[in-house]
Amino acid sequence: MKIVFLEPLGLSVERIENECRALKQMGHEVVIYPDRCPEKNIERACDADIVVESNMPLRKDFLDACPNLKMLSIAFTGLDHIDLKECERRGIVVNNAAGYSTEAVAEEAICMMIGLYRHIIENDKITRSCKGASIAPGREISCKTVGVVGLGAIGQRVAMLAKAFGCNVIAWNRTYKEVDGVTLVDKETLLKESDIITLHIALNDETRNFITAKELEIMKPSAIIVNAARGPIINTGDLAEALKNGKISGAALDVFDTEPPLEGNNPLLNLTNTMLLPHIGFATEEAFQLRLGIVVENVARFVGEKQ
């Protein structure tokens, strides 16, 4: 089979080739493109049996242009950028890289909580300007109530890290789930009681606009919200209004309605009580190496079943 890596997944071509050595020894052709170039995806994959990529959208036009395609090995956790219904109709197997970024995203969530509380970005700017001292006293996350929305692997890891910082952890989950040291509550209770709300749910029809003006109105004026899940889980316009009018204290976001670079008219850009990051939660060297192993293992399992 012809296996095409549409991008190097944040690693060197040599590292990917080394990971794919067994596939080559089995007689499979492995093509690895050294750059990420979405406009060339169809050209690069048109005769592929298996395609490996991370989060570039692959829709019906791509599938139409790749008649040999049998499998997509996605180097990402979420699959909302893939036309799953069309893949199912065509019998194309789709695997993700579940679990590769659990530690990376969980650590980033804690980092954003502390960064927002301690005004890290603002104080860095002040220090570099050589014009002043701290803008204001910060806050400690210790002894605060952290509300975790979604108790999947990442949400559970965030809960454990928050506990290590001395936080009281409550959580909302779609179904009942028992996690040591975490109190499960309903959505309204979580919104009312949390000093910090951190989102770790998948994006679907039920969770789109999970946080709107209605939910923001329930939160404490001193509360902050952290989103390292998917942008559309929060209504951007409503969040901007709440931040502008002091309904909540701050927001730290690593995900948006559209991937960075953000459009210049995004209402969050001019707000000072925000931390805006370019979707880097998953991006650590350790996570990249782990996900390479996962996607190659998924491919090896698929081709093994086909032999």
The residues assigned a catalytic role are 230, 259, 279
Largest CA distance in the chain: 68
Taking 3-state DSSP, the helix, strand and coil percentages for the chain, each rounded to the nearest 5, stand at: 40, 15, 45
Contacts of 307 (CB under 8 A, 6+ apart): none
Say which residues have a Cβ less than 8 Å from residue 193's Cβ, sequence separation at least 6.
Answer: 145, 147, 170, 185
Query: Residue 2: beta bridge partners?
Result: 29
Separation of CA 99 from chain center: 11
Q: For the purposes of burial, counting CB atoms within 10 Å of the CB of 33, is it exposed (0-12), middle (13-18) or buried (19 or more)? A: middle
Strand partners, 29: 2
Among residues 304, 295, 237, 301, the alpha carbon closest in space to that of 271 is found at 237
Residues 250 and 268: their CA atoms lie apart, in Å, by 11
Distances (CA, A) of 182 to 113, 160, 166: 18, 9, 12
Side chain identity at residue 195, one-letter code: D
Going edge to edge, which strands form the sheet with 50-53? 29-32, 2-5, 50-53, 71-74, 93-95
Interatomic CA distance for residues 43 and 31, integer angstroms: 13
Tokens representing residue 7 in the block: 């991008």
